[in-house]
Amino acid sequence: MKTVDHKCPSCNASINYNPKNKNWVCEYCGSKFTLEQLEANEKNFEATSVKDSKELKENNKEQKEKDSNNENVEMDEYICQDCGAKIVADKNTAATFCVYCKNTAILKSRLTDKFSPSQIIPFSKTKEDAIEAFKKVGKGKILMPKEFSDPKNIEELTGVYIPFWLYSCKADGHISGKGTKVMMWSDFYYNYTKTDTYNVERDCTYDFEKIPVDGSVRFNDAIMNSIEPFNYEELTKFNYSYLSGFLAEKYDVEKDEAKKITIDRAERSVYNDLQNKASLKYNSFIPEGKECNIKEENVEYVLFPVWMVNIKYNEKMYTFAMNGQTGKLIGDIPYSKKKAALFLLILFIILFAILLLITYFI
């Protein structure tokens, strides 16, 4: 199977997207290119590569026949266009790296037809930004396990485009219940409390724009929710060139399945807001009935940028994720039991030494 990577029009080296200056920079000759320049060069390249494509299809004919006879195949093989090495990718990977030459392999066939995103938010934060943010999380934490400060683990931070569904909908909400107003006063002899109970109803219409739902089962929904929000003003028309230098996934959470998550998030927002509105004029409010009708207006399939690293410690995987656009970071660092024991031992020795000095001088 064929992969695609972008070549520098000047020296033909692989070229990656640079989040800082928002263009494509060649690390070898230093040339910089806009998206329009890359697209023009790609058209010329495709016009002259028809012959190579035919030869590649012949070389992979046997593998294709094998794949067609096995519907449950989970891994596919691709050929790196730079070094010729085989790249193995699972069925949901849309952009990956060659383990030998480190060049990006964009699997365009994985992002076509229904898997073609309509828009993308390009990376704004670089790997250096992600590494610096990760180091700040562990700064001053003397009980942090050494695995979390190991340069090899930190360097494994990887930029990934995560598939998301964006739902826009309208919700009509209703809530009813009992509200109470309490009045208290006193005279010379007694303290008085008067409680009035009211039937309370509230109705409201809500317009939700682009509720995000993680479209990949591979990534933890709680982590993806925690690094929100993304700035939708930077959504741009999808182009394969933005994948250069990064990994990318295609969705494996179907639209209807994601819709259920959207409805749940919208309903919770509606009920929380209605309950707050119903409670404004009362000392207490007890809901007795609620209803929410949601009408889907629009749904989009997009890719969002995320920096991620997984670090294994004590047979448990700890995931750190940073919003590749805003820099918002999520992740927990455990404490090392060995370091904690050593710290307590040193503290005990210091305190014991101080006690001995005090006893000696007294």
Residues 343 and 317 in one domain: no
Residue 122 included in any domain: no
Residues 56 and 164 in one domain: no
Residues 80 and 163 in one domain: no
User: Look-up: residue for tokens 């979390």?
Assistant: 148
Residues 104 and 239 in one domain: no
Q: Using the 3D structure, point to which of 111, 140, 166 is the last residue of a domain.
A: 111
Q: Spell out the per-residue pLDDT of the chain, length 362, in tens.
A: 444 556 777 777 777 888 888 887 887 777 888 888 777 776 665 555 444 445 545 555 544 444 444 344 345 555 666 655 455 566 667 666 554 455 666 666 667 777 889 999 999 999 999 989 888 877 766 766 777 778 887 888 888 899 999 999 999 999 999 999 999 999 888 999 999 999 999 999 999 999 999 998 888 888 888 899 999 999 999 988 888 888 888 888 888 888 888 889 899 999 999 999 999 889 999 999 999 999 878 899 999 999 988 888 787 888 889 999 999 988 777 766 677 677 677 777 888 777 777 777 76
pLDDT value at residue 73 = 39
Residue 83 included in any domain: yes
Its sign, for the CA torsion 222, 227, 232, 236, is negative
Reduced 3-state DSSP string for 298-326: EEEEEEEEEEEEEEEECCEEEEEEEECCC
Residue 116 included in any domain: no
**Nearest C-alpha neighbor of 89 from the set 221, 223, 238, 218:** 218
Residues 86 and 165 in one domain: no
Residues 76 and 183 in one domain: no
User: Look-up: residue for tokens 């990006």?
Assistant: 104
Using DSSP, state whether 31 is helix, strand or coil. coil
Question: 229: cis peptide before it, omega within 30°?
Answer: yes
Domain count, the chain: 3
pLDDT value at residue 50 = 45
115 burial level (CB within 10 Å; 0-12, 13-18, 19+): middle
Question: Distance (Å, rounded) from C-alpha 221 to C-alpha 214?
Answer: 6
DSSP string, 55-96: HHHHHTHHHHHHHHT-TT--EEEEE-TTT--EEEEETTEEEE
**Nearest C-alpha neighbor of 205 from the set 158, 173, 182:** 173
Residues 35 and 58 in one domain: yes
Residues 86 and 217 in one domain: no
Residues 229 and 348 in one domain: no
User: Look-up: residue for tokens 């409680």?
Assistant: 195
pLDDT value at residue 91 = 66
Question: Distance (Å, rounded) from C-alpha 103 to C-alpha 16?
Answer: 9
Residue 129 included in any domain: no
Using DSSP, state whether 10 is helix, strand or coil. coil
Residues 227 and 294 in one domain: yes
For 234, phi then psi, to 5°, come to -95, 5
Residues 196 and 318 in one domain: yes
Q: Tell me, rounded to whole angstroms, the distance of Cα 244 from its chain centroid.
A: 18
Domain with 353, as residue range(s), is: 337-362
Q: Using the 3D structure, point to which of 82, 111, 140 is the last residue of a domain.
A: 111
Residue 30 included in any domain: yes
Question: Distance (Å, rounded) from C-alpha 178 to C-alpha 362?
Answer: 71
Residue 343 included in any domain: yes
Question: Distance (Å, rounded) from C-alpha 65 to C-alpha 3?
Answer: 18
Non-local (6+) Cβ contacts of 148 within 8 A are 138, 311, 313, 318, 333
β pairing state of 236-237 and 158-186: unpaired
Question: Distance (Å, rounded) from C-alpha 21 to C-alpha 31?
Answer: 13
Residues 292 and 362 in one domain: no
224 burial level (CB within 10 Å; 0-12, 13-18, 19+): buried
Instruction: Kindly state the tokens that stand for 172.
Output: 């009509």
Q: Give this prediction's pTM.
A: 0.73
